[in-house]
């Protein structure tokens, strides 16, 4: 593990903290909510769940932009590097508490979200 990187257990603990507001109106930039709107109210992009339902590849710029909103929201709690951000995606897919939550949004969404967070980490975050 890289110096300063979080372990999966640490990521899981942090993810547990963030899940308390995920899926509620307090998680305005949550991964499955629409991305922020422009001044005129038009959406600046689709939500990650909408993109998953449309089967948009996780390395598509629209998906990366949607995950960027989630990343900015996560930074309210901690600032993950590429390794820990991809690890958070694994926690979402592997921990049953999170998996159940994301699968309720859309079947297959937990795995899609895992892959999308990893793609975002690879494309937009440095180690």
Q: Are 75 and 84 in contact (CB under 8 A)?
A: no
Q: Confidence band (pLDDT; 50, 70, 90) for 44?
A: very low
What pLDDT, on a 0 to 100 scale, did the predictor assign at position 126?
77
Q: First-to-last CA distance in the chain?
A: 11
Q: Confidence band (pLDDT; 50, 70, 90) for 34?
A: very low
Q: Inform me whether the pLDDT recorded for 5 exceeds 60.
A: no
Q: Inform me whether the pLDDT recorded for 50 exceeds 70.
A: yes
Mean pLDDT confidence for 6-30: 50
The conformation of residue 40, written as its DSSP 8-state character, comes to: T
Q: Which residue has the higher pLDDT, 79 or 40?
A: 79
Cα 3 to Cα 6, 89, 119: the distances in Å are 9, 20, 22
Percentage of the chain with pLDDT > 90?
A: 60
What is the spatial distance between Cα 122 and Cα 102, in angstroms, rounded to a whole number? 22
Mean pLDDT confidence for 85-110: 94
Q: Are 31 and 113 in contact (CB under 8 A)?
A: yes
Q: What is the token pair recorded at 28?
A: 């305005």
Instruction: Confirm whether pTM is higher than 0.85.
Output: no
């Amino acid at each position: 593990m890289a110096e300063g990187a979080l372990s999966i257990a640490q990521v899981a603990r942090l993810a547990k903290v963030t899940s308390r507001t995920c899926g509620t109106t307090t998680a305005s930039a949550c991964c499955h909510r629409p991305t922020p709107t422009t001044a005129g109210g038009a959406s600046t992009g689709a939500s990650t769940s909408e993109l998953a339902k449309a089967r948009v590849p996780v390395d598509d710029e629209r998906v990366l932009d949607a995950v960027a909103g989630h990343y900015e929201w996560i930074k309210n709690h901690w600032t993950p590097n590429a390794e820990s951000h991809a690890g958070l995606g694994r926690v979402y897919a592997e921990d049953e508490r999170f998996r159940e939550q994301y699968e309720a949004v859309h079947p297959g969404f937990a795995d899609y979200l895992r892959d999308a967070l990893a793609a975002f980490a690879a494309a937009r975050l440095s180690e």
